[in-house]
Amino acid sequence: MHAPFPALRLRRTRSAAWSRRLHRETTLTPADLIWPLFIAEGEGVEEPIASLPGVSRWSVDGIVSRAREAQALGIPCLAFFPNTPAHLRSEDGREALNPDNLICRAIRAVKEAVPDIGILTDVALDPYTAHGHDGLVDAAGYVVNDTTVEILVGQSLNQAAAGADIIAPSDMMDGRVGTIRAALEADGHANVQIMAYAAKYASAFYGPFRDAVGSRGLLKGDKATYQMDHGNAEEALREVALDLAEGADSVMVKPGLPYLDIVARVKQRFEVPVFAYQVSGEYAMIEAAVAAGAADRDAIVLETLTAFKRAGTSGVLTYHAVHAARLLGA
């Protein structure tokens, strides 16, 4: 005679779709998404990016159209990245300080057309330097910290003056968050947020992004002297602690899925808003799997984005934002 089965059957609450929805612990909505967009010169321009199938660079008028699309889908925030023309790139990245550069023009145009959508702007010099690094480089090829921070402050004020809502320093220079925060306060931008790329790793997943912003092939050496080693976790917590102490309103972990352990540890340790960037290489792998017939796009997009939320993120930067928002709104 068989012993009686335990009173609790965990499959009981999974037995019907309505019950699975009722008991779901983690939910995903369009309000959890930030859509990264690449900006190109010109008018009426759409330039597909070969290494990011389904993603294009858009001229400013196209960016405005994308902003209207995002607002209609309930996506609350856009992230802007410029593809600076080669003739405007320089050793010192001075185009970052131009109040009429690509990113500033896009900010103003979107804020005029769709004033209620949030705009996040990247602060780093790699879209503007001839050498592809995030900061200024000395004669030995080393990215210097403090003089780079001075330029980043000017870049931040330039973007804030154009109407950016969130300044997102992605450069990984020491001390830049506190210096930028002080400058924003002094310049009358008290309500401009800082989302610090606090744990940004020197990753192999960034390749397609460099195609998108036109820096592929420019980089001399690598970024290992300022971005984090992928073997380190405790160091990420130290980086986050410093950025929060310096005035960051939220922090980011980048890349995303390979670093969900870092997301979870940051959330558990600090209990602050944590974001993750599902970077270009992650997106490209998903699209390659779909193209090979190895994955269903709808299912894998929603599953991976839910994984970010389950790990503790407040939101995710993802090139699948529009696709996911359409699925979630269906």
In angstroms, rounded to a whole number, what is the distance separating the alpha carbons of residues 311 and 296?
23
> What's phi and psi for 281, nearest 5 deg?
-65, -35
Q: Is 309 a catalytic residue?
A: no
Q: Is 254 a catalytic residue?
A: yes
Residue found by looking up tokens 């389950």 in the block:
310
Residue found by looking up tokens 């993750």 in the block:
276
DSSP 224: T
- What value, to the nearest 5°, has the Cα angle with vertex 284 and ends 283 and 285? 90
Q: Supply 94's token pair.
A: 């001075």
In angstroms, rounded to a whole number, what is the distance separating the alpha carbons of residues 218 and 134?
12
Residue 274: strand, helix, or coil: strand
Q: How far is CA 149 from CA 183, 219, 315, in A?
A: 11, 20, 27
Which of 200, 223, 267, 309 is flagged as catalytic?
200
Which of 111, 220, 223, 254 is flagged as catalytic?
254
DSSP 46: E
Residue 15: strand, helix, or coil: coil
In angstroms, rounded to a whole number, what is the distance separating the alpha carbons of residues 61 and 237?
40
Catalytic residue numbers, as ranges:
200, 254
